[in-house]
Every structure is written in structure tokens, then in C-alpha cells.
Chains A and B, each alone.
Chain A
Amino acid sequence: MKVKQISIFLENKQGHLLEVVDALAKAKINIRALSIADTSEFGILRIIVPDPEAAKKALKKGGFTFNENDIIAVGVSDTPGGLAKALAVLSEEGINVEYLYAFVSKAEEKAVVVLKTDKLESSIKTLKKAGISIIPPKEVYSL
């Protein structure tokens, strides 16, 4: 149930984000979801793409520093309190959320929340038990 996410190091310099996005565009890779974590000195671009292998190849060719990580994609109802419920069950289990970001799927009336926690496996179990829908990788890639 884990989704592959690719994280890329970005130096805080003009045009660096463009270079990455451009490299992916040239390789005809569509970005499904993205977020940027930034500090005053550098940033981390996190993306979800339909074909992580192709994206890695393009990034390697471009000479970027990146890695691949597992994340969970959770579907929460696009209503107030949707996200709060998911976070509450994780918190009860003592699971820390490292970061998250969200996007809205075109197909469903649902918000998709991308989650990285310190315990991915038990997060999946906990969320499932609480009846929160976890979106399988295939679906995420084709959203």
C-alpha cells in the first residue's frame, strides 16, 4: 500500500526548481503531486509520478541528488474534520507525522493526503482499522 515518492535536493538558487521540472518534462514525465519543503538555504522537492523509474533515470541523467521513499496516500472526505480524524488515530498510536501534503483528485470528491510517518507499516494498519481509506499506489499514480 506504500506509494513511491521521489525527493530531490534543491539549492536555493534562482532557476534550480525549473531545471528539475524541465528535466522531467523533457522525459515526458507528468507530475501527479508535488510539495516543496524549504529552509533558508535549501529545499526538498517531493513528487509523485506515474513512472518513478523513468523519473529516476531522467534525474540521474540531469545530475540531481535525489532519493526514493515510501509514503502513504490517504483519501479523506473533502469536508471539515476529514484530515483531523486521520491524524487523531495516528496520534493515539504514538505515531509521528514527519510531513504531509495534500492534493485533490480529479475523479473523486476526495482530498488525497500524502503522509510520511516514522512508522509506515503500523500507520497503514492503524488507519485501515479506523476505516480510513488508503489509496493503493496504482490509483495514486493514475489520479
Chain B
Amino acid sequence: MIWDQKAECMPHKEREELQLERLKRIVKYAYDNVPFYKKRFKEAKVKPEHIQGLKDIQKLPFTEKADLREGYPFGMFAVPRKDIVEVHTSSGTTGKPVVAGYTRNDIDLWSEAMARALTMAGTSRDEIIQNCYGYGLFTGGLGVHYGAQRIGATVVPISAGQTKRQIQIMVDFGTTILTSTPSYALYLAESAEEEGLSKRVKLKAGVFGAEMWTERMREELEKRFRLHALNIYGLTEIIGPGVAQECMEKSGLHIAEDLFFPEVVSPDNLEPLAEGEKGELVITTLTREGMPMIRFRTKDLTSLTRGKCKCGRTLVKMSRITGRSDDMLKIRGVIVFPSSIEKALLAVKGVEPHYQIIITRPHHLDEIEVQVEVSQKMFSDEVRRIEETRKNIEDSIEAEIGLRVKVTLVEPKSLPRSEGKAKRVIDKRAL
């Protein structure tokens, strides 16, 4: 199913023309209406009329989260405050929140982008969406809500929490689409099993995002809930969820590039990278009124692939986010992404993705401890076998990241379960 056949399946060339036309307009609009951009452009000695082709975007300066914080709260708005009909803030996983303002047209744009995303996951008017993303300042809840409303599906605006009730409602209402963070979905699956209600859950697809996850987690979710587990991507600075979404091919997320222009640059020197090369995703909003973003550095690491997808869409695909250029950990000088540890962990049979990474520096040397909950499958009455599994996990992590870590087994459910973004890393180093 495709929500906007024209926009999503348009020939590449034709879309480029549309992108260029929109880019020219938004750059001029930002320059004329946001003092921040005018100042930045002047410093970089560029003018809106320098944009003649899509490649010319590379002449423009980047925008960073810090710039948005500096403009706190409304400094990045391009319209008078009275034209802003809604504000959101980023969930603040990495520092102080930033404020995003939406005009009525922006809400419309967002609803369209989300309607496309949810349709990609098979949502039509016939479906019942249980939306476990938090409603409120976080964009997840309302973003999904707007998209579902645009489609005309039945939304259950339940937000996160009250897990037992979530499962009861899922069974009683016959929920078919679940939207939540992948870690919370897993928690729901676990609880459904405990309640003995797994078999009565009728989910067809899950739209999972707002945190990094892995293919192994997809397998786990698909097996436990018998659904299609699909990746969604978005960020408050750009619009919220709906920037990109995976189709049933499950081989990358289609970016709504007629609305959000993507680039991938090297995190080291910010030079543009070729198709297929992994780097930092940079996005320019092509149509946003309230708060245009020019070359916003998402800090999310991905790569882009072009080509017609089996689903019929011509929209460029980005690979699953594998890390952030700013949350990579430096352990004894080695760059380590928490996602690599997760990947290694889940490669060991019987291990469930409930873990926490604790970094300490006891004797001037970094140490990583990975606490893993003991699952039923890992457990044995023999110490030897449990030790074997523990060692297998250590070996698997070492093979993946090149560092020996200490794996500690902890009791099930002893690690905090998140209802939003899972806190996986605890850095206790005093640096």
C-alpha cells in the first residue's frame, strides 16, 4: 500500500527538479526570516541565489543542535509566534531539550509524512493502532496520532506504561498495528507471554523507532509477536517521526526526500560521502514553515542507497541507524558503539536484549562491564554450563569490538525496563 503514489514513486529526475525548486525557496525563506541563518550565511559568504543546483547545498553552513539550544526557546522560528500552533521539545536523551515549532501547514506536512510511514507498514482505515509512544512534548505520540488520523485508522492513544492494561487492550480491541520503542515492544511481548495472552495478540505490524535497535531484535519481535517489525526514523528538529520509514522489504528506510533532503557526510571532516558510504546524516527540510532546518546534522550514522524498491517507491533508502557520531564510546582509545555490543550479545543463543553497559575506570584504565539478564534459555542447573554461556557472550563481544569486556549475569527483570528510550550505557568514569 502506498499513501501518496505520486510523491513516493516519482521518477528520480522529476523528483530532483522538485527538490531543487523547493530547496531554492526554503533557503531564501530561511535567510529572509530567521536572523540565525542570515548571520550564518554571511559568515560563510553565501547567498540564497548561490543555490543553482542540488549540489550547491554543500556551500551552505551546517546547523547543529547547539544552535537550536542557543536560540532557546523560539529563536529558530521563521514566523511570528502567533502563527505557531504547536510546540514540541526533543526528548533530551543528549542534554538540554530543543524546541520545535509547527505552523498549521507544518502539522499538515507532518500528518502526510506520518500517513505515508504508517501506510508503508500496512495501515489502512481498517486497522487499529495502539500508540505506545508518549503523548506530550515528545513528538512520538502525536506524530503517530496525526498520521493515523489522516489515514482514518482507529487510534488507541494509550501512551507508554500500564503494561498489563496495554496487553488487555491489545487482546480485547484486536489491535493490529503497534507503535512503540522496540525495547518497550519487547517488554510487552514478554509480559504477554507471562500473562499467557501471547496467542491472543493479533498484531500484523509494529512501527518501532526512537531508539537504536538491531536485526536480531527484529527477529525476536517478529517471532514473539508474529508481526512485521518495521523501523521508523525521525527527529524533533526536523519534524518528529515520519522522516523515513521501512517498507515490507525490510531493507532500509525510505526517506520522504521530497520533504526532507538527505545528505551523508563524513563525521570527521564533514565532506559529502558517496552513495553507500556510511557517515552522518544531514537533513534539510524542504517545505517546513515554522522552523526551517538547513543542513541539520542529525549525528545519526547511516548510508544511502538509491534504486527502485520492490515496493514500487523510488524514494532513497537509508540503512538502519548503527550509531551516533556523538554517542560513540571511547574505551581505552578504541571507538565502541553500544549497538555493536548489542549485536554481539544477541548473536549468542538464548540471550535476550536486556542488558546494560557500565563503564568504569578503576585503575586509570577503562573497563566495560556488560550486565545481562539470565533468561530461562540460558539457565542451567550446572555452573559449568552457565559459565560457558557467559564466556560465549564475552567472546562474541570481543570478536565484535576488539576489546575484552566483563560479562555479569544478573537476575531477570533486575535491569530497568524503559517505557521510552532504553538507557543502555552508564558511564561512571570521572573524566
Contacts and interface: CB of A to CB of B under 8 A. Distances in A.
Contacts of B382: 44, 98-99, 116
Interface in B384-420: 384, 386-387, 408-414
B383 interface: yes
Contacts of A69: 381
Contact of A9 (B374, B384, B387, B408): B374
A63 B386 contact: no
Contacts of B412: 9, 63-65
Given A65-B376, A67-B376, A5 B381 contact: yes
B379 interface: yes
A27 B381 CA distance: 22
B411 A116 contact: no
Interface residues of B, number: 18
A44 B382 CA distance: 8
Nearest to A11: B411
Contact of B409 (A11, A37, A66): A11
Interface string A54-84: 0000000001111101000000000000000
B380 interface: yes
A7 interface: yes
A14 interface: no
B375 interface: yes
B376 A41 contact: no
A39 B379 contact: no
Nearest to A19: B411
B379 A66 contact: yes
Interface in A10-39: 10-11, 16, 37, 39
Nearest to B384: A98
Nearest to B412: A65
A65 B381 contact: no
A9 B382 CA distance: 10
A103 interface: no
Contacts of A63: 412-413
A9 to B, nearest CB: 5
A65 B374 contact: yes
Nearest to B378: A65
Interface string B61-76: 0000000000000000
Nearest to B406: A41
A65 B411 contact: yes
A11 B379 contact: no
Given A44-B386, A65-B375, A116 B381 contact: yes
Nearest to A61: B194
A9 B413 CA distance: 13
B411 A44 contact: no
Interface in B256-303: none
17 contacts: A9-B374, A9-B379, A9-B412, A10-B411, A11-B410, A11-B411, A11-B414, A39-B383, A42-B374, A42-B386, A42-B409, A46-B381, A64-B411, A65-B376, A66-B379, A98-B382, A99-B382
Interface of A: 5, 7, 9-11, 16, 37, 39, 41-42, 44, 46, 63-67, 69, 98-99, 116
Interface of B: 374-376, 379-384, 386-387, 408-414
